[in-house]
Structure 1
Amino acid sequence: MGNPSSIAPDTGVDIARVDLKGTPYEESLSHGTLLRTQILDQLHIYRGIFQTTCKFDWARVRSVASEYHETIARLVPDYLEEMRGIADGVGTSEVDILDIVALNARSEIALGQWDDGCTALSWKLENKQILAQNWDWRTSVGKNLALASICQDDKPDIWMVIEPGIIGKIGFNSSSVGVCLNAIRARPIDTRLLPIHLLLRAALESTSASVAIARIEELGGASSSQHILIADSNGGIGLELSPRGGVYLKENLEGVIVHTNHFLENKLVNEPPWLSGSSIRLNRAYSLCELLSKNGGEELSSKVTPDALRRTVFADTFNSPQAICCVPDPSRPESVETLFNIVMTFEKGKFPRAEVLMGRPASCSRDDPVYIMPW
């Protein structure tokens, strides 16, 4: 069991931190209990998003969630136990397991109608591996984000930035395996396969990137089109996943992979244009990495630090509002912006670590708290 706490109470920033231990049901019971208020608010927010985005009332959402319930029970029953524990932990008759399944399948239920961004980066350096991203999503979700650790027997320990109620997200484990996520708007959706957030969790329970990829393949791939950027201390690889198959992206000659919100090589699905800034962010991120590598006379590994990446690549506002550091677009009814930045570092022989900045890197000062994982 764990207690939610503020990482830096003297800063006035209230970020919930939960340490979850035990069986799948036990640790998730804590998740639901400790983050009850945030989960209830998330359900309220997503009711509105589903209604406005794809005209689904909650009964329709639960109907689709019931199909995923069957899939999860068949492929990863432990994850269904976690969702049951979260629902029980919330402790109200108004929330049951199908509501929690709906949160975990939220990227799929909307049938490719989401409008989030995100820019992810993997950088293999001489003596370390960097994995990082800005996560862009609805402004209303930002207040509910939490930091979570999960400790279960016979599995690596996990640290994530989570949307409460969702059991897999962006983060890393004690085996130095990390994941980032880019949403892709493409059809079809296949409810016989797992939602992307559960595949993120499966990757984070793996002891290497190659084991994670094998596990994703064993599970049959993703129910929706998404990109997972995965890395361990040996390097990174991009997984452009879809219900019709996946395509893997290798590092360029400089050891870099950048991904935004369109497929680069996977042509197996129907992907209509939706974010005009996606390709601009992609090219801009590569250019900024090149600029950082050439700036000054230090060794490259010394220059590519979490702070330097936040100040250069991830604080970039070129082509705003659809910039790497995203702000709400006044021409669109929904408010989407960068909600957090994470930079993970994996080095052979050292314990993995990450720095998390809540909010937009471009608007944060050096006095704003940077949260360290593990804590």
Structure 2
Amino acid sequence: MTVYKMTAAQVARKVIENKKMFILDVRNHNAFEDWKIEGHQFQHLNIPYFELLDGVDEILPKIPTDQELLVVCAKEGSSVMIADMISQTGRDVYYLEGGMKSWSMYLEPIKVGDLTGGGELYQFVRLGKGCLSYMVISEGEAAIIDAVRFTDVFINFAKEKNVTIKHVFDTHLHADHISGGRQIAEITGATYYLPPKDAEDVVFGYTALEDELTVQIGASQLEVGALYSPGHTIGSTSFIVDGKYLLTGDILFIDSIGRPDLAGKAEDWVGDLRETLYRRYRELAEDLIVLPAHFMIIDEINEDGTVAKRLGDLFNENHGLNIADEKEFRQTVTEHLPPQPNAYQQIRQVNMGRVTPDDEEQTEMEIGPNRCAVR
């Protein structure tokens, strides 16, 4: 039978469209347990490739014949080899082009909704890393929030929409992924904003992202307003877009809350985190739609592929927003922290402009799951 190539973009559409697929992951067990391709209706079998070198006959009964079969490895080579072996048994089989490396890098733009004056809001979903970026569009202008490092994706999308990128924001100094915000601003001439309390050690120029700063997009009344919301970092800032959407950065997620420890200050910042979640956000309209900068689990993805939920629903459903006792909240947050993100200290240095690794080094820094939340 035949070996076919499947791209990360094609896999992403299967996730978003809730399709069935069977994945044979031939990486080692630790890598698979740490991080894998997830979909609402995906099934997995993890057998390291070196256990299959003598043949694949023993695993064939474990692989359903009524679903597409995708073989996945770290960078492609091993999956091509195993896929070829399976095809020789009479099965059609796919391999993931570029392996988990390509899956980590792919971005899927999805429209969240319409805005004032014909504007639009798009969420860029990085399924393989759990990162979420945003583009606000109105009357020929655009603003980008929390861009990841793949600058061409945002620049090309703006060209497709025939808009000029005027403003680029980072809600905070990121530690889990490398920001593309400053580079996009340099390429396009846009203004780059960063919270000054997070920027004490940066070595580049920026415009201060201050509490209650309001930026107008286009000539309409569409506004992006900043809301100081510390806790994940001391400078973390949220955005209210068009009075409809609350972009929470790494402070509040759909099924979890932000972690306060990535600068080594969990005990200091956990109080700020509670203040933001239990006072500042409680003062906002419950009909705001929360759009975070990350997701952790596949269940956070809606049927249309977006990651979004009404703030009032999160007040009722998110456990991190329902710990009445402050001491219990502090203990829950500081004693249940997940493992640190891969290379987070080096990533912080990159986002400060202090080191400039090449593309391959940046890819290796970012490999692995999202770990910015306490769940």
Q: TM-score, normalised by structure 2?
A: 0.31
RCO comparison, higher one (Cα < 8 Å, 6+): 1
Task: Output the TM-score relative to the length of structure 1.
Answer: 0.31
Q: Which has the larger radius of gyration?
A: 2
